[in-house]
Amino acid sequence: MTTMVHLFGGDATTSERSKELLGGKGSNLAEMASIGLPVPPGFTITTDVCAAYYANGEQFPAGLIEEVAAGIAHIEGITGKTFGDAADPLLVSVRSGARVSMPGMMDTVLNLGLNDRTVVGLSDASGDPRFAWDSYRRFVQMYADVVMGLDHAEFEEALEIAKEDRGFYLDTEMSAEDWQALVKEYQAIVERETGAPFPQEPNDQLWGAVGAVFASWESDRAKVYRRLNSIPAEWGTAVNIQAMVFGNMGDTSATGVAFTRDPATGERAWYGEWLINAQGEDVVAGIRTPQYLTKVAREKAGAKPLSMEEAMPETFEELGRVFDTLETHYRDMQDIEFTVERGTLWMLQTRSGKRTAKAALKIAVDMAAEGLITEEEAVGRVDPGALDQLLHPTLDPDAPRDVLTKGLPASPGAASGKIMFTADGAEKAAEMGEAVILVRVETSPEDIHGMHAAKGILTARGGMTSHAAVVARGMGRPCVSGAGGLSIDGNARVLRVGGRELREGDILTLDGSTGEVMAGEVKTLLPELVGDFGTLMVWADKVRRMKVRANAETPQDAQVARDFGAEGIGLCRTEHMFFDAARITAVREMILAENEAGRRAALAKLLPEQRGDFAAIFGVMAGLPVTIRLLDPPLHEFLPTREEDFADVAAAAGVGIEALKARANELHEFNPMLGHRGCRLGVTYPEIYEMQARAIFEAACDVAAETGAAPIPEVMIPLVATRREFDLMKAVVDAQAKAVFDEKGREIAYLVGTMIELPRAALMAGEIAETAEFFSFGTNDLTQTTIGISRDDAGRFLTQYVDKGIFLTDPFVSLDVEGVGQLIEIAADRGRKARPDVKLGICGEHGGDAPSIHFCEKTGLDYVSASPYRVPIARLAAAQAALKKGK
């Protein structure tokens, strides 16, 4: 390890390494200082130290004490104050800062260095005893909470009682003496709870806080956030130690948070909240209602308290200049924290601001238009996964709605679901497949799992930068915050609003774009790719190499996919086509038939239906490739399982109940996913695949004759393990093609290929490609067969596997590049050696997952296929992957 401590304004740069080492917050503070912005002096303990701390059995590495002491001396030199000095003490903040911002996850201690002696010095030096004692009580409470792990409710209760005893309502009514008395009480609580007096030695306080920052990296809520965001545990956090500046030194002091553009809409307008005479945490904690930054915003909201623009015009102008400097320097929208101490502006933080998908698109497109970034950079600026929030239905403006109240439009999108009042309740209900709206007075980091499980989040308190708002925007969950008209009784599990009562389980609809809260479910509309979204997609398509197809099995799905820009169908599953009431009987007749002739008779009934299915899809996908997979699931899936259904089914299929039960019994398998399914059905009952192939070619010829646009069928054989299996099935398909083309007097170009879903198929790909014209990686099955974890049962234990770091992410969501990825690479290589133009695609769920798409680009696949609503995500991710590979 080199130096463990880096001074702000020193040698830090914008490099990735600097972010890795100093964390996001630390490297940005260092950088702001180096471009001449007003940053209180300070230093960062690197993330390497955190890693070493854990590697050392939670011991600080040798030499750290000396380096930190030198850092403190550096701050003392600039401020002219001394740490622990009884006359004019230096106070510091201690804050965590990981490589990527983890909102609300890590802990902060302010005013560190105060003790029974230095508080008097602070009082004298500031000439404001009330401020000094207020700062001290805040410090004791924060330190007790964050460092000592005591319950903050006890301290809040003591404050409430202190106010009640004095007949006060607001904190501002408390005098210096009142705060001083409360500090004594707080210290007594600490002593009672820990058995030791509150630490008086500033250095002890400092090391306690540093240890607490490191410990919070391994807190449960940080672990959950890391799991949800795929952040490796090894990264660790940095610790930032910085001279305190005070926003609570009277009416010329203030504190605030701001975005250089509107994080909800992306509009180019300064956006933020501030409070006069307050300390940083007051703005985000939702205790006092923050005020507007600009006059326009205040007037628009019809709010009374003056905006910063009106109350502190000069400082506001300076802040505006800082915004411009930051945007030009970082070339991105910034999220900042600032403090004004007696008229002097200080920057406490800047980072790339979290934004809604809508804002991300607008900011990227606008910044390209402003010449701040290039079109390609704009393409790289939008997180493909975040587009999900725009690709879901919004409320139909014409649908009737029963509006209960209105809150702040904290995170856009609409959602309906059952009311749940606790995060655990929301998680449980979601696991049962319920759509849930999490309803809380306000949220805290402890609620994060419930927020993730919910379709939407509603809070009674908190502003646009409250925890709920920030986290919901990051997750893409619709959120209405600060709905003051609600009264929530979490214990009784009721919500009261405008004289009405709703209980847990009642349906609620939220519109995060307007802030409306409605009773019952409201009709929704499908999204469209217009405006900035459309523009960015055009730019993305310019740089994209891989094609993007859709997994679709109905004409409706196919149309949605086309509207979202799909360039064909990568997987048309055929099994669901057989569940239609009119068809399932014929399917069952086929399954129950005693011989081939019986099966053929039943299949003949299915042929026209199946031909109609394909014709409709070919019509939508005119001129584009359509990959149709022949029947895949084990046949027992088509038979009834419930006792009460047997009689009806038997009657419909023309057999006795006993015969039906006997057949169901015969078809029972211990491991159906490894059983009689996929091409194994085609091998034993070739007439099934014959019928399907005939339906495909008849439909293709008919559509070509009608429209003049010949479809491009790609017939896909599932679950192949050996070349011989494939060859047998290909012969069936080719024979039908020839027969149909002869009958129709027309030829259609088509391909026959296979899914690669089994490790053996991947390894034998060279041989299989001698006859197979394309491979489509069925990574759902390939993941299950490679890892040997059932895709249907994995949910029960996979979260633990991710928590324990066995998998970085769920391998059924994001491709296991190391393991399953190797098989894909081997198959692609061997396949291409045998057949240089073998077409390669992916049709497992991973085809819509951005990191997996990067892998596909790296491996040189020709296309990815995703579910229709994920097609735009796949287009953008494929473009970003191409840009990355190009670099």
Which residues are part of the catalytic machinery? 467, 843
Which residue lies nearer to ligand PEP by CB, 453 or 842?
A: 842
With CB cut-offs between 5 and 8 Å by kind, which of Mg ion, ligand PEP, none does residue 567 bind? none
Smallest distance from the beta carbon of 852 to Mg ion, in angstroms? 16
Contact indicator for 379, 540 with CB cutoff of 8 Å: yes
Which residue lies nearer to Mg ion by CB, 340 or 628?
A: 628
Alpha helices per DSSP H over 621-672:
643-653, 657-667
Secondary element (H or E) of residue 281 = helix 281-285
Beta bridge partners of 715: 628, 752
3-state secondary structure 396-448: CCCCCCEEEEECEEEECCEEEEEEECCHHHHHHHHHCCCCEEEEECCCCHHHH
Smallest distance from the beta carbon of 778 to ligand PEP, in angstroms? 3
Which residue lies nearer to Mg ion by CB, 612 or 672?
A: 672
With CB cut-offs between 5 and 8 Å by kind, which of Mg ion, ligand PEP, none does residue 779 bind? ligand PEP
Q: Which residue in 569, 564, 571 sits closest to 549, CA to CA?
A: 569
**How many other C-beta atoms are found inside a 10 Å radius of the C-beta of residue 494?**
16
Tokens (6 digits) for 373: 């970034």
With CB cut-offs between 5 and 8 Å by kind, which of Mg ion, ligand PEP, none does residue 208 bind? none
- ∠ at Cα 238 (237, 239), nearest 5°? 120
Phi, psi of 772 (to 5 degrees): -80, 135
Give the whole-angstrom CA distance, residue 433 versus residue 189: 45
Q: Is 332 in the site for Mg ion (CB under 5 A)?
A: no
Which residue lies nearer to Mg ion by CB, 557 or 781?
A: 781
With CB cut-offs between 5 and 8 Å by kind, which of Mg ion, ligand PEP, none does residue 573 bind? ligand PEP
Give the whole-angstrom CA distance, residue 618 versus residue 616: 6
- ∠ at Cα 595 (589, 596), nearest 5°? 90
Contact indicator for 431, 420 with CB cutoff of 8 Å: no
Residue 778 annotated as lining a ligand binding site? yes
Smallest distance from the beta carbon of 419 to Mg ion, in angstroms? 38
Among 128, 511, 781, 849, binds Mg ion (CB under 5 A): 781
Contact indicator for 454, 438 with CB cutoff of 8 Å: yes
Residue 406: which residues within 8 A CB-CB, separation 6 or more?
480, 483, 485, 514, 515, 516, 517
Give the whole-angstrom CA distance, residue 237 versus residue 217: 7
Give the whole-angstrom CA distance, residue 266 versus residue 386: 14
Indicate the residue whose CB is closest to Mg ion.
Answer: 781
Buried b (16+ CB within 10 A) or exposed e, 245-272: bbbbbbeebbbbbbbbbbbbbbebebbb
Q: Is 845 in the site for Mg ion (CB under 5 A)?
A: no
Q: Which residue in 548, 475, 559, 555 sits closest to 512, CA to CA?
A: 475
Give the whole-angstrom CA distance, residue 597 versus residue 414: 54
Give the whole-angstrom CA distance, residue 530 versus residue 515: 23
Phi, psi of 672 (to 5 degrees): -55, -30
Contact indicator for 46, 5 with CB cutoff of 8 Å: yes
Give the whole-angstrom CA distance, residue 778 versus residue 717: 11
Give the whole-angstrom CA distance, residue 581 versus residue 575: 13
Give the whole-angstrom CA distance, residue 132 versus residue 92: 14
Task: Tell me whether residue 136 is exposed, middle or buried, using C-beta atoms within 10 angstroms of its C-beta: 0 to 12, 13 to 18, 19 or more.
Answer: buried
Fill in the amino acid letter for 25: K
With CB under 5 A as the contact rule, which of the stretches 494-502, 669-677, 778-786, 863-871 interacts with Mg ion?
Answer: 778-786
Smallest distance from the beta carbon of 637 to ligand PEP, in angstroms? 12
Which residue lies nearer to Mg ion by CB, 757 or 857?
A: 757
- Per the listing, tokens 């086509």 go with 577
Per DSSP, 711 falls in state -
Smallest distance from the beta carbon of 678 to Mg ion, in angstroms? 8
Smallest distance from the beta carbon of 885 to ligand PEP, in angstroms? 24
Smallest distance from the beta carbon of 761 to Mg ion, in angstroms? 11
Which residue lies nearer to ligand PEP by CB, 536 or 761?
A: 761
Binders of Mg ion in range 718-757 (CB under 5 A): 757
Identify the three-state secondary structure at position 275.
strand
Which residue lies nearer to ligand PEP by CB, 412 or 847?
A: 847
With CB cut-offs between 5 and 8 Å by kind, which of ligand PEP, Mg ion, none does residue 571 bind? ligand PEP
Which residue lies nearer to ligand PEP by CB, 462 or 841?
A: 841
Binders of Mg ion in range 46-65 (CB under 5 A): none
Smallest distance from the beta carbon of 497 to ligand PEP, in angstroms? 44
The string of DSSP codes covering 804-817 is: TTSSSS-TTTS--T
Phi, psi of 290 (to 5 degrees): -65, 155
Which residue lies nearer to ligand PEP by CB, 142 or 688?
A: 688
Tokens (6 digits) for 420: 């749940």
Which residue lies nearer to ligand PEP by CB, 531 or 819?
A: 819
Smallest distance from the beta carbon of 638 to ligand PEP, in angstroms? 15
Residue 431 annotated as lining a ligand binding site? no
Smallest distance from the beta carbon of 571 to ligand PEP, in angstroms? 6
With CB cut-offs between 5 and 8 Å by kind, which of ligand PEP, Mg ion, none does residue 289 bind? none
Smallest distance from the beta carbon of 780 to ligand PEP, in angstroms? 3
Give the whole-angstrom CA distance, residue 310 versus residue 293: 9
Which residue lies nearer to Mg ion by CB, 375 or 781?
A: 781
The string of DSSP codes covering 340-370 is: EETTEEEEEEEEEPP--HHHHHHHHHHHHHT
Contact indicator for 672, 634 with CB cutoff of 8 Å: yes
Size of the site for Mg ion (CB under 5 A): 3
With CB cut-offs between 5 and 8 Å by kind, which of Mg ion, ligand PEP, none does residue 843 bind? ligand PEP
Q: Is 778 in the site for Mg ion (CB under 5 A)?
A: yes
Per the rule left: phi > 0, alpha: psi between -120 and 50, beta: everything else, 810 is: beta
With CB cut-offs between 5 and 8 Å by kind, which of Mg ion, ligand PEP, none does residue 589 bind? none
Residue 629 annotated as lining a ligand binding site? yes
**What are the residues binding ligand PEP (CB under 6 A)?**
571, 573, 632, 757, 778-781, 843-844
Binding residues for substrate: 573, 629, 757, 778-781
Residue ranges of the binding site: 573, 629, 757, 778-781
User: Residues at the annotated binding site for Mg(2+)?
Assistant: 757, 781
Q: Which residues bind Mg ion (CB under 5 A)?
A: 757, 778, 781
